[in-house]
Amino acid sequence: MIQDGNDQGMTGREKAMDGLLKELARSGSGADTAFVNRVMARVQCRPGPDSTGNWIQRASRWPGTWMILGVLVAVSLLVISGKPEPKQHPHSEVTAKIEATRDIGTVPAKQDETLLYSATFSLELSEWVDAVSFQVNRRPDLPDGAKNTPSAIANKANGAVLRPVVVSIRDKEINGITIDCKDIKRDAIAGVVLDREFDEDHIEIEFDMRVKEFYRPRNSNWGFFGVGLNRGMNAPPAKHYIRLSKEIELFRHLEQGNWCQYRATLHRSVSKDGVAYTDFQQFYDNVLFSDDRIEMTGSRIVLLQMGICSEITNFRVRRIGPPKANTPDEGF
Amino acid sequence: MPVEEQLAQATPVKASVLQSSDVAKTFEVLVTVHHRQVLAYARSLVHEPFVAEDLAQEAFVVAWQKFDTFDANLDFGKWVRGILHLKYCNLMREKKMQPLPQEILEAIDAQHNLWHKSGNNLLDILTQCISQLTGPLRQAIDLHYLRNQNCLAIANATGAQKSTIRKRLQLGREALADCVERKAGTSLTDETGKASAP
């Protein structure tokens, strides 16, 4: 049997003190408000506004004990026209309303069958957004029994490179877009990228979300809904997935139909080893449910989900601080 | 300690909380009061901080789900630590990892239960105790816990043997445990009727 790595040589009293010391070193002697808020966010969530759209009604239920992930989230890329002027617009706001209205998908009875998906998104964007793109990431097929973990999916060495399908609609009409994503396989990871090349070090996003369905991806019992910053269209780093994967339980608690408002504050920062990170915080109302420190790979906002099918509306982006000088840009 | 007392000790807000029927608010106050001790307990059991935090979070979620069955005359923190203990055992079984020996687990449980019985903020007390620690023991505790250095790194930095550093850490932990018990007014030896430390 593998040992946990905890020092097996200590007495119980020593281990008790060891835990106390580690906890003191972690967060001082005061309350860890973020932890409390994470717990409370998991145990309560106030219902939000009613949905204004008819989001993804599945054509039929998939048979079997495992539920194939059939998630589509659209990707909208909000690109500022020109360089942002944080000093002039320190609190500029973009509002993007994302409503997926229908799913014409068919349900694959076998693992290799293709999930057809379609959704309509309407976006209400402020004047400083000039482009919207949709991206649907799909993961390559993995054989039955293959390791199906967040890290495996995100690990390029495993051959599990996400292949984005990007539909860019720059300079086109952005309301009423319909995209067909015909090659989303089961266990797909769907992502929404709101891309406007943020230069700011502090960005706040806010959205209403409710879970429509939960799935159990093949060979796994995890799923996630995450939000973070990502530079490119490729897979975010494994760390991104891993730290967010447990949040599925939060959404599982919400069950279907409960609207909740979430807010994520993304701070760019640099660790002592020179890798750029973002402090990730999401909260409902004033309730934080995550302040995980995840690797920041870029400047686009990414919403990702796997194992759940959710509905998002009232997406807002707000700069809450000017960019810092000499923001590290290496290592992504 | 009854919930009412736990709440009353926490903040002045508690009285109004108790009068309200807002169960979630009551639960939140209890989480606020007890979460650090539960996290410390989790850190006593597992090495990885993320795992410890997950365990603590899961324990609180279960506590919430079972909150209507909780006896308000009992110590909420102790109850949650009991849930966490079970979560830990399940985790070890699922991961096919070797859990801590039963006698060690029981000793850890007993120690945390005792320390937290006083209702004092043990982390505050521990901070005071560390500040009173001097010499090589203080150095070892500082470097290992507060600066996150392993024994080998500390040995290299101080010119001492690795085994010496381990011994210093052991002595430091024991000294701190004694100090915490003195300041908190609790002692396991007192509890068991045996001779207490001077």
SS3 content of chain A, % helix, strand, coil (to 5): 15, 35, 50
Q: Are strands A308-321 and A202-214 parallel, antiparallel or unpaired?
A: antiparallel
Beta-bridge mates of residue A134: A167
A232: exposed, middle or buried (Cβ count in 10 Å: 0-12, 13-18, 19+): middle
Average pLDDT on A313-318 reads 54
Q: Say if CB A231 and CB A297 are below 8 A apart.
A: yes
Sign of CA dihedral A77, A320, A28, A39: negative
Cβ of A23 within 8 Å of Cβ of B176? The answer is no
Q: How confident is the model at residue A42 (pLDDT cuts 50, 70, 90)?
A: low
Q: Say if CB A232 and CB A133 are below 8 A apart.
A: no
Cβ of B146 within 8 Å of Cβ of A243? The answer is no
Q: Smallest Cβ distance to A39: which of B31, B97, B123?
A: B31
Q: How confident is the model at residue A158 (pLDDT cuts 50, 70, 90)?
A: very low
* Most B CBs within 10 Å, among A6, A20, A284, to test the B interface: A20
Average pLDDT on A265-286 reads 35
Residue in chain A lying closest to B34 (CA): A31
A21 contact residues in B (CB cutoff 8 A):
126, 141, 145, 173, 176
Beta-bridge mates of residue A164: A137
Q: Smallest Cβ distance to A17: which of B103, B176, B188?
A: B176
Cα–Cα distance for residue pair B52/A79, rounded to 1 Å: 40
Number of residues that this document lists for chain B: 198
3-class secondary structure, A117: strand
- Give this complex's ipTM: 0.86
- Higher-confidence residue of A210 and A87: namely A210
User: Does residue A287 register a pLDDT over 50?
Assistant: no
Residue A136 structure tokens:
């649907």
3-class secondary structure, B130: helix
Average pLDDT on B24-39 reads 90
Average pLDDT on A290-301 reads 35
Q: Output the pLDDT for position A32.
A: 84
Cβ of B188 within 8 Å of Cβ of A15? The answer is no
Poorest-confidence range of A229-243, B11-25, B38-52?
A229-243
3-class secondary structure, B38: helix
* Most A CBs within 10 Å, among B17, B25, B57, B137, to test the A interface: B57
Q: Output the pLDDT for position A40.
A: 72
Poorest-confidence range of A56-65, A86-95, B63-72, B155-164?
A56-65
Backbone angles phi, psi at A218, to 5 degrees: -55, 135
- Counts for chain A of helices (H) and strands (E), in that order: 5, 15
State how far residue A44 is from chain B, nearest Cα, in angstroms: 7
Q: Output the pLDDT for position B108.
A: 93
Q: Smallest Cβ distance to B35: which of A25, A26, A32?
A: A32
Q: Output the pLDDT for position B130.
A: 94
User: Does residue A246 register a pLDDT over 80?
Assistant: no
Contact A171/B at CB under 8 A: no
Q: Output the pLDDT for position B74.
A: 86
Q: Are strands A115-121 and A293-295 parallel, antiparallel or unpaired?
A: unpaired
Amino acid at A52: T
Residue B1 structure tokens:
């300690």
Contact A113/B at CB under 8 A: no
Average pLDDT on A312-320 reads 53
Q: Smallest Cβ distance to B31: which of A16, A27, A36?
A: A36
Poorest-confidence range of A127-141, A246-260, B96-110?
A127-141
User: Does residue A91 register a pLDDT over 60?
Assistant: no
Convert the pLDDT of each residue in B80-92 to its tens digit. Answer: 999 999 999 998 9
Average pLDDT on A128-147 reads 37
Q: How confident is the model at residue B17 (pLDDT cuts 50, 70, 90)?
A: very low
Q: Output the pLDDT for position A258.
A: 53
B99 contact residues in A (CB cutoff 8 A):
4
- Higher-confidence residue of B128 and A229: namely B128
A36 contact residues in B (CB cutoff 8 A):
28, 31-32, 35
Q: Output the pLDDT for position A208.
A: 55
Nearest to A131 by CA among A95, A89, A173: A173
Q: Output the pLDDT for position B87.
A: 93
Residue A234 structure tokens:
């490729």
- In A116-208, where does DSSP find H-type helix? 150-154
User: Does residue A125 register a pLDDT over 80?
Assistant: no
**Residue carrying the six token digits 């760390």:** A239
Q: Output the pLDDT for position A3.
A: 55
Q: Output the pLDDT for position B189.
A: 52
Number of residues that this document lists for chain A: 332
User: Does residue B141 register a pLDDT over 50?
Assistant: yes
Q: How confident is the model at residue B114 (pLDDT cuts 50, 70, 90)?
A: confident
Cβ of A2 within 8 Å of Cβ of B95? The answer is yes
State how far residue B54 is from chain A, nearest Cα, in angstroms: 9
State how far residue A2 is from chain B, nearest Cα, in angstroms: 5
In whole numbers, what is the pLDDT of chain A averaged over residues?
42
Poorest-confidence range of A39-53, A167-181, B7-21?
A167-181
Average pLDDT on A83-93 reads 28
Cα–Cα distance for residue pair A327/A102, rounded to 1 Å: 41
User: Does residue B33 register a pLDDT over 80?
Assistant: yes
